[in-house]
Structures are given as C-alpha cells and as structure tokens.
C-alpha cells in the first residue's frame, strides 16, 4: 500500500467488505446501484478491451433486490455482467479467476441472519481487492451516476453451469484416486449457498450422504443450523450412526465438523488434522497461521510436529496477509474459516472438509481419533453487546482487570479482549488449564468491562 492510501480512512469498506442491516444505509437498493456503477467505472478504467464482472449471492431474500441494483449500476458503467445465482463465496473467487473476469461481487452477510446483507469484492486473481481499488471505488461513490452511451452499455448473461464447474473443481482437490466409499456423512448447508453443491461433491466422491439445511426460503439462512449452530448436526450424526458431520455457514467459507461420537470439531482442530496429514505425507506447506483466538493447544500440538505457527489479529484478511508474507499454505480461525492457499485463494468450507476427510481416509482412522492428538486448552468466550469502537486499551480500569486475570492464570493461560469487526460486540476470551477457573475469570472480566461502559451481560 502506498503512503497516501495508508493515511486515508474508508467510509464504507470494512475488513470484510460492506455489511449491515437491509434497508438501513448503506445496505439499500439505491446505494447498491451506485456501488455497482462506481465499481464498474473503476474496473473499466483498469481493464483492457471488453470488461466483465461476475455477481453471485447467497440465499437470503434481499439478494434478488441487490443483484438487480448492482447489475443496473455495473452495466450503466459499460461493463458486462455474468450472473452466477446462489453460489458459495469461495466458488465466486474461483470462477472469477477461471473465467478471466476483472472482478467478482459476492452478495452475502456470511454467518449473519437474513436481516443483514453485504457486499464483498474479489479481484481478477480471486483475492480481496487492494486498498487502492477500494479507495478508488469510494471516490466514485462521491460523484453523480452517469450512464455511458447506449451503444456502450454492458450486457448481462447468466452462467448456467456455474454449480457444475465448482463441483468438479472441489472434487479435483483431493485427486482422482481418493474415494470416500464406505463413509456416511451428514452435511448441514445452513439453508445457504452450498445447498445445491456440497451434497453432490461428497456423493460423487463415493460417500453416503444425509443432507440437512438444504431448503432455503430466503428467510432461514443460518437459522439454528450450519457452522454457527451445530446442535442439529450433532443430533443427526448420532441418529444416523454417521462417520462424520460437516457444517457450513450461509456463504460456504466456514466449516465446523462433528465426529461419530457427537463431538464438535472446530477450526483449530481441523487445521491440526490437515497439517498433521500433510506433514505425514512430507508435503511442504511452510507453517500454519492462526489468530489471537486460536487455542493454545493448537500451537502446542503443531510444535510437537515441528510445524511453525504464528498468530495474527482476528480476521481472514490478516491471516491471508501473513500467509502471503511467509509463503505458507495453511491458515485459519477457530470459527472454521480455513485457508488452503495452494488450492483456493480464499477460505473454502467444502475444500477444507475434503482435506480433513482425506486425512481420515489416508490414515484409516476416525476423525474422533485424529482430533485427540491435539489437546485443547479450556477456553471461555463471553460476548458483550455494546459499541465495538470503545477504547479498551486506553481504559485504566479495564486494563487493571485484564492484568488481574493474567496474573491469576500465570504462564499457562491467555486473555484476549477485543471488539468484533462485524457486529456491535466486545469479545472477552480467557484460556487456561483449569476450566472452572477459566470460566470464573472470564465472567469476572466481562462484568468489569460491561460495568465500565454501562453495558449488561
């Protein structure tokens, strides 16, 4: 990033695109039309010859409205549109790259409920946009919309085989010789954008599949299902006597798994299973990038394998930056956002599930056994609903409370206090060896923070 961009502040773009409540600025149809025009104008200047942008969405009802508004804006700027329909976020990154588009637009609010929506952009390489392009789009947003000459308007067309293309890509990531024959898998698609893709991927690789969360109605995305609510998946795995369960979030970039005993396997454990299998096969992946939220048990287990591990701030953008900086192929978050950079350019729930299942097949051991090789430290996280722009580091009373908890934990624990990047929440996390102590200290710290800022637990 150049020095001029560093000194600027973005008005609309956050760490993960633009997101908010539908009908409230900026998540409105008129803004989306202008955003489409602004993005189209910027990419038209950047490109050569006929320019093309892909648009995909998840299954929330507002996606239709915003798809139409974005299409109008982009075509008004003289740029062609390829409509993908409901597609996972990582699929849009992949198709943007392989269809040689200038950019991809994702209409999704990821793991949020249907009342929210948002916009993410991918570059022509399938990666997040550089800051310079986001600043350029925001500069255009400050101008009045103008339409190119009628003969220069963009054209819109639908990619009818988008799902099939992505299914074949996912299958190719585990090699033609690997089969899941004999595995019974429960797949929870959170009534989101993987509903018509994930079950087919596992079935075509030979697994017996039981699908849940595959009946989107526009309003039920992420509702009591998927990676953020794995209770139904646990129940289904036990009822079906399945070998494993996989759950995605609404836009398909997160993964949580369940072993045959009904234990939830989070992103840290999945990262470990994948890393261990690659190390066993002598595949060079450099090391693993985690975040401040990654369990201490992951760090210790990777160290036992001789695998380097580093932490970044929470957020896939920071994980990706560190992976690229170090030239490493594996990274992710406890929430299940896992990046296999040698396979796709962004976090991909289906690809991550396939990598973990390949480890199960390669080792001929159940997931329950593989996850045991990493011993998780007890960890308690409490979310406090309050503004996420409060000054936590500069508050003496809060920092005094943090110091007290850290002193109580000693060297065998950690404290993390941070604002959410996507919701009006402050997250309090305490980790240590004794679960009772961890829970008590987390509650004590959360109470201190809530009282200091007039919030309630």
Q: Which residues are catalytic?
A: 110
Number of other CB atoms surrounding residue 154 within 10 Å: 23
Question: CA quadruple 133, 138, 140, 145: dihedral positive or negative?
Answer: positive
Backbone angles phi, psi at 206, to 5 degrees: 105, -5
Beta strands in 116-266 (DSSP E): 116-123, 156-158, 184-188, 208-212, 244-248, 255-259, 264-265
Backbone angles phi, psi at 310, to 5 degrees: -135, 155
Q: Residue 132, class by beta-carbon neighbours within 10 Å (0-12 exposed, 13-18 middle, 19+ buried)? A: middle
Strands in 52-57's sheet, in edge-to-edge order, are 18-21, 116-123, 103-107, 52-57, 80-86, 156-158
Distance, in Å, from the CA atom of 340 to the CA atom of 351, rounded to the nearest integer, reads 8
Strands in 425-431's sheet, in edge-to-edge order, are 379-385, 425-431, 414-419
> Do the beta carbons of residue 48 and residue 89 sit within 8 Å?
no
Pairing of strands 18-21, 425-431: unpaired
Which residue shows structure tokens 């908890």?
A: 405
């Amino acid at each position: 990033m150049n020095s001029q961009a560093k000194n600027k502040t973005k008005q609309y773009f956050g760490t993960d695109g633009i997101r908010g409540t539908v009908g409230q600025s900026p998540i409105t149809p008129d803004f989306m039309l202008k955003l489409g025009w602004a993005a189209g104008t910027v990419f038209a200047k950047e490109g050569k010859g006929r320019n093309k942008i892909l648009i995909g969405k998840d299954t929330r009802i507002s996606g239709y409205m915003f798809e139409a508004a974005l299409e109008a804006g982009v075509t008004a700027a003289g740029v062609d549109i390829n409509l993908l329909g409901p597609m996972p976020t990582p699929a849009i990154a992949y198709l943007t790259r392989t269809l040689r588009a200038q950019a991809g637009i994702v209409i999704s609010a990821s793991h949020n409920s249907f009342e929210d929506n948002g916009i993410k952009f991918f570059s022509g390489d399938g990666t997040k946009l550089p800051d310079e392009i986001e600043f350029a789009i925001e500069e255009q947003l400050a101008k009045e919309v103008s339409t190119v000459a009628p003969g220069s308007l963009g054209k819109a067309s639908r990619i009818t085989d988008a799902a099939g293309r992505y299914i074949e890509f996912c299958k190719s990531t585990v090699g033609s010789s690997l089969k899941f024959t004999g595995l019974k898998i429960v797949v929870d698609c959170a009534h989101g954008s993987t509903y018509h893709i994930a079950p087919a991927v596992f079935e075509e690789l030979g697994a017996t599949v039981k699908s849940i969360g595959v009946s989107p109605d526009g309003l039920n995305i992420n509702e009591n299902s998927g990676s953020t609510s794995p209770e139904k998946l646990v129940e289904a795995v036990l009822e079906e006597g399945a070998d494993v369960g996989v759950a995605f979030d609404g836009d398909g970039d997160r993964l949580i798994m369940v072993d045959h005993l009904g234990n939830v396997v989070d992103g840290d454990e999945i990262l470990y299973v994948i890393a261990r299998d690659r190390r066993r096969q002598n595949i060079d992946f450099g090391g693993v990038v985690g975040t401040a939220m990654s369990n201490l048990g992951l760090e210790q287990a990777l160290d036992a394998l001789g695998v380097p591990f580093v932490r970044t701030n929470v957020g896939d953008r920071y994980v990706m930056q560190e992976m690229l900086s170090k030239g490493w192929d594996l990274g992710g978050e406890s929430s299940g956002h896992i990046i296999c950079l040698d396979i796709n350019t962004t976090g991909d729930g289906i690809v991550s599930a396939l990598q973990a299942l390949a480890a199960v097949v390669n080792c001929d051991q159940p997931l329950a056994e593989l996850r045991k090789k990493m011993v998780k430290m007890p960890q308690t996280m409490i979310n406090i609903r309050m503004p996420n722009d409060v000054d936590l580091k500069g508050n003496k009373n809060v920092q005094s409370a943090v110091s007290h908890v850290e002193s109580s934990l000693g060297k065998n624990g950690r404290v993390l206090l941070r604002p959410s990047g996507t919701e009006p929440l402050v997250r309090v996390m305490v980790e240590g060896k004794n679960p009772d102590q961890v829970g008590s200290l987390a509650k004590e710290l959360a109470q201190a923070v809530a009282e200091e800022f007039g919030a309630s637990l």
